[in-house]
Every structure is written in C-alpha cells, then in structure tokens.
Structure 1
Amino acid sequence: MTDIQLTTVGKSYGRRRVLAGITLDVGTGVLGLLGPNGAGKTTLLRVLATVALPDTGRVELLGRDPRDPSARAAIRRRLGYVPQQTGFPSGFTTFEYVDYVAILKEMTDRRARHDEVRRVLDVVGLAGMARRRVWRLSGGMKRRLVIAQALLGDPRLMILDEPTVGLDPEQRLRFRDTISALAEDRCVVVSTHQTEDVTAFCPRVVVLHEGGIRFDGSPRLLAATATGRVWRSDRRDPGARLAWRTGDGTLRQVGSPPPGAELVEPSAEDGYLLLVGEAETDAVPEAGT
C-alpha cells in the first residue's frame, strides 16, 4: 500500500522556490530524509503533515487529498507529527500536555484516553515524570515528550522532523528500537542530520538538495556512490573536497584521490557529502570517528 504519493509537488515562499517538482511514493517502513539546511526538508514534512499545502502538484496521503477539509481531518486522525520546534502550554504537567493533545485528536473516552497517555509516556521512558511540570524537563526529556504525543492513537503515518535532537546516545538507541518496531506495519518519515541514524534503521534514504531529490535508495547504495573517492593519508591532498582527522591520526579525505592513494570503504556519510558538496558546512572540523 502506498501511504504517501507526491506528484511534481512545488512550494514557494515569495520568490524563493523551496520545493521544485517533488515526485515520491512511500509505503510501509522507515524513510530517512537527509539534506543540508535550506534544502526544503522541513517544508516537505509540513506538506506531509498537512500543515502546509503545495502551490503546485498533487499530494495523496493515506489515499486521501489533504486539500479537502474532511479528508484532511481524516488524515490527521491517523497521523503522528513531531515538528522541528514545539511550544508547550504554560503550566502543564507532562501527563496534562499529552492528554491535551489526545483531546485534540478527538479521544473522547476519558479512561481510555488516560490509558493511552500512560502507554505512550512509558514507551518514551517518561512514565515516572507524569506529574512533573513541562518547564522543569530537560531538553532531551521535552523531545521525548513530543515523540510521545506523536505516538498517540497508534498512527498509520508518522512524520518526524529531527526527532533525535537533544537525545543522548542511550535515548537515541531507544528511539531507533521504538521506531523500527512501529514501522513494521506503518509508514514513518524521519528527517535528520544524523547519517548514522539513517544507516542504522532506515532501509530507504532520500537526499534532498536545493528543493529537489538528489538520491533515492538504500544506505548501501548511498555509500556506493562514493566508491573510489574516499582515502586516507597523513596530509591533505589537493583533490580532497572535504577532509578530517580521525582517531588514528590520519586524514580521511573525500573527493578525487591522487594516483596510488590508500582507498577505504566509503560510508553513507561519504556518499551524502559528495552529493551535496560543501553546502552542508563550510568546513568539517577535525574529530575522532
């Protein structure tokens, strides 16, 4: 079943074209969305979450057209959405915030709704924080709280914009486990800057750049686009587009290797960096891998 079907979708803000004719079909499983800042990722996710409508093209979500108000309401009943930035009503406890969202999702049976609120708080590891005021939570806890509200009602379609921002390594691993299990029978779209997350639990990757799709395939195929273009040496070579010092003290370089270079197996991150060039960052800092 195709849960998301986009046909030549375009979106502009003033004179700036943010999405340039996106065509995409997505079914059950996890799709990882990568792209540099300004590539159009958040705008695309807002379209998928029915928050924004496209200027051109056609969008079909769960077999319905979100331009129709009644269809849009039906989509939202089966949708879980984690926006990039979230505000919280003043004074709410953790439980009250998720309960408030559940009411907005038309969960009218109080006992069943409260059971569902407790369930999703437990899934994200916040069951013990139910009575704590939201303003007292850490940044990572607030992010987990937003993920919890997205899980309400067992949604068929989940749209997650940078869901792991602020999570520590253990919480990110738990997030991967949760989403991987959920995606067995539903559609999940995850936007992230963490290429290791994409490699770990996204069987399909879309790279968005300058409003268009630059790549659509598996993490393995994304890595393969950098075959023969990644090498190690003691000093930076002129053909390197990007280079950084690794934990063993050598430079890992991506670009056009010199003759006789010590080629290494590329990663999905290497393929991504070559696809988007240096738009992601002006310089890659030296760091351990």
Structure 2
Amino acid sequence: MTYVRGVTKRLGSTQALRGVDLELRPGVTGLLGPNGAGKTTLMRILATVLAADEGTVDLLGRDPRDPRERTEIRRQLGYMPQEPGFHARFTAFEFLDYVAILKEHTDRRARHDEVRRVLARVGLAEVGAKKTRALSGGMRRRLALAQALLGDPRLLILDEPTAGLDPEQRLRFRELVSELAEDRAILVSTHQTEDVAALCPRVVVLAEGRVLESGTPETLVSHAQGRVWAAAERDPGAVIAWRGADGRQRQVGTPPADAQLVEPTLEDGYLLLLEEHACAAA
C-alpha cells in the first residue's frame, strides 16, 4: 500500500501542495490537473526526490524520511519524470545500463539481459545502438519509460508518459500499462483525458495544490450529466463550445430548457469541475 495524508509542500514563495490525500492500490490511478496544479511536485514526493513539509507519506509500507527505508523504497520504485535528462553521447543501451548500475544491478551479464528486456518491452530493441540524441522525441519518451521499468518495480510513477507519442504509440503504451497494472500500483499524470478514460479505474483531480475529486471516472463524468448539449449556434450559457464534424456546436455549461442533451465525457466533467472551482475561488 502507498498513501499520502495531509501532505503540504512549499517551493519558494509558492504553496505547491495543500493538505493532499492520495491512496495508490494495485492498478492504474490517473492524475489530472491544469499546469501549475502541483502534479509534478506530488509525483516527485512519491518518487522520494522531494520531502513533504507536513503530512504522512507511506511508500510500499515504508517511511521515506528514514534513509535506510528510502533506499529500500527506491529499489522497488520506477519513476519516469516529465523531462528526463539524457547524456547526448550515450546510446540507448548505454543510458539504460548506466541507470541499471545506479539501481544496484551489479552483475554485468544479468544487468545487460535486463536492459535488453526493457528495450524490447517498450519497442526499442532495434535502436539500442543509436545515440540518444539521434532518437525521435517519441523514442526518447519510450526510453524514459524503459528506465522506469528496470528491475520490475512494484510502484510506477509516470509523469506525462504519452507526451510526444503518436496515436499508435499511445495505444501500445495503454496496452503495456494495462499489463503492468495487473500486479503493481501505477500513477499516471497526464493532460490526455482519453488516456485516463481508457486506462484508469481511479482518477484524482488536482488544482492549486488541492484534491478536487478522487473517485472513479464515472464520478467525474457525473459532474457534466445534463450539462452537455448540441445546437446550431453557440448558447450564452456555454462555458465552452466547438463546432463538431456534424456541423453543430457541442456545448458544455448551463443548457437552455429546450436543449438537445448529449452524453457527457470524462473531459466534459473535468472541464466543469475546474470551472466550478475557479468560480468558487473568485
């Protein structure tokens, strides 16, 4: 079990997290939120890169404040940061080999077998000899995911893992993560609500360092029930609207009495939840 209770974190003059509660169980939990919501700060705390100012953090039944327990956590943890750094002169294989050494894979033959395993797992087996600087953006994202998979960790923290992936690669990512989630906890931070809808039985929405919603995707969708409609022209009660492929305006907000309602999506519920929070804070 992994959880945080009442976690706060200040970064300089910014209050990045304000009393955050989060529980991770086996399976995939999606973390949604606008830029500046505190998602990356929370993930860096879960990855033991940062320490919380206040609150309780329990990672895999261990306390990351204790140096010995923190080391044990890191042996069972895979972290894919939003902006991983690559040494330009390393090949993909050499980069993963270097990370594996840092993760205490001391036996050379076993370590190289593990590097080849994770390269194949993310579809990069054919480019192991290429320099990281020669890889496409999507390949570098997959290489970042590969380093997180070294050692078959029990807890995976993935920050914007599908950024830069083309549609086929995103589908393959979903397939891989769904397989991995059979026996471990995975937290995925993303701006792609369709990834959350496709992958995550649990979703957490963060804004201004606070948890606005924690539940199932259906709970989030319910915020937009009866508040999405289609019409020929934009209505004044719409928070947001766009013209769809059928030529009609798909609108989210407060519908008129005679509105032709349509089924809401996870994205609709997410947008309305953020809008309600912004109005309440104003």
> When the two structures are superposed, what TM-score results if normalisation uses the length of structure 1?
0.94
Question: 1:28 Cα shift?
Answer: 0.6
Partner of 1:174: 172
- Aligned partner (choices 62, 65, 75) of residue 63 of structure 2: 65
Supply the distance in 1 between the matched residues of 2:137 and 2:215 (Cα, whole angstroms): 33
Structure 1 residues not aligned, in runs of 5+: 281-289
Question: 1:278 Cα shift?
Answer: 8.8
> When the two structures are superposed, what TM-score results if normalisation uses the length of structure 2?
0.97
The Cα offsets for residues 72-109 of structure 1, whole Å up to 9 and x where unpaired, read as 11101101000000111231001000010000000001
Supply the distance in 1 between the matched residues of 2:52 and 2:243 (Cα, whole angstroms): 43
The Cα offsets for residues 117-163 of structure 1, whole Å up to 9 and x where unpaired, read as 00000011100001011100000000000000101000000000000
Q: What does 1:20-39 align with in structure 2 at a 5 Å threshold? A: 20-39=18-37
Report if aligned partners of 1:36, 1:279 keep a CA contact under 8 Å in 2.
no
The code of the aligned residue for 1:78 comes to: Q
Question: 1:14 Cα shift?
Answer: 2.4
1:139 aligns with 2:143: no
Partner of 2:243: 245
Count of aligned positions: 278
Question: 1:279 Cα shift?
Answer: 9.0
The code of the aligned residue for 2:226 comes to: G
Three-state SS of the structure 1 residue aligned to 2:224 is coil
The code of the aligned residue for 2:165 comes to: L
Partner of 2:194: 196
- Aligned partner (choices 45, 48, 54) of residue 46 of structure 2: 48
Supply the distance in 2 between the matched residues of 1:248 and 1:75 (Cα, whole angstroms): 52
Supply the distance in 1 between the matched residues of 2:115 and 2:14 (Cα, whole angstroms): 41
Partner of 1:285: none
Q: What does 1:72-221 align with in structure 2 at a 5 Å threshold? A: 72-221=70-219
Supply the distance in 2 between the matched residues of 1:16 and 1:38 (Cα, whole angstroms): 10
Question: 1:22 Cα shift?
Answer: 0.7
Give structure 1 regions of 4+ aligned residues with deviation exceeding 2 angstroms.
Answer: none
Supply the distance in 2 between the matched residues of 1:144 and 1:81 (Cα, whole angstroms): 13
Residues 278 and 129 of structure 1: CA distance in aligned 2, closer, same or farther (over 3 Å): farther
Which is helix-richer, 1 or 2?
2
Supply the distance in 1 between the matched residues of 2:222 and 2:76 (Cα, whole angstroms): 36
Q: What does 1:251-270 align with in structure 2 at a 5 Å threshold? A: 251-270=249-268
Identity of aligned residues (%): 63
CA RMSD of aligned residues (A): 1.2
Structure 2 residues not aligned, in runs of 5+: none
